[in-house]
Amino acid sequence: KLVLALIQDETILSYIEEDCFKKQSEIINQRLDEMLKEHQIKPLNIDEICVTKGPGSYTGVRIAMTIAKVMGAMGNIPVYTLSSLQLASGGMENTLVLMDARSKRAYYGLVDKGTIVEQGVDLIEVIESKQFTPAHFACDAYLIDKEETPVSLAESFVKLREHWELIENIHALAPEYLKSNDDYLVKK
């Protein structure tokens, strides 16, 4: 999902939440350009940038980070990151966030008011066996046959401002992907 939000003084001026499976690289610059022109803002006049750092679509996260890095470096704009799990939680208390990782696996995070209590990636059946008792489910809750609490991702950026992490070295900005124990097994 492509999410762009233009925020001024904690007010959302404009936002886009668009499903764009395998098309993000084709439309993100166009949508960003349209949004900025609509509000007569030049790209390098932005005060700060916040981008999710993952987990999520490898390509989608890298594309967003590349744009943030270029704009941050060119305009000397501070760049912040936020976990995709935090963003999807909407800042709600005791929320289990699930994100489809394909192959019967999911990224998961137990998030309480923006603070990640537990996170990982595992088989969906293993996640179900953990017997979490959240007050809310978010994102891809259908994976475990639960109903999700709707979340505005644009509003989440505002609500979770205190959880943004400043990137000190923009050139070192890289996606963070959760790894499971299976990823470290060496086959003989």
Dihedral angle, C-alpha 126, 119, 97, 184, nearest 10 °: -50
Task: Using the structure block, give the residue that is written with the tokens 């999807």.
Answer: 88
Residues sharing a CB contact under 8 Å with residue 49, sequence separation 6 or more, in sequence order: 68, 71, 72, 77, 78, 79, 80
Determine the pLDDT at residue 178: 81
Tell me, what's the pLDDT at 41?
95
**Which single residue is written with the structure tokens 């709707």?**
150
**How does strand 95-102 pair with strand 136-139?**
parallel
Amino acid letter, 182: D
pLDDT in tens, the chain (188 residues): 889 999 999 999 999 998 877 777 789 999 999 999 999 999 989 999 999 999 988 888 999 999 999 999 999 999 999 999 999 999 999 999 999 999 999 999 999 999 999 999 999 999 999 989 999 999 999 999 999 999 999 999 999 999 999 999 999 999 998 865 555 333 33
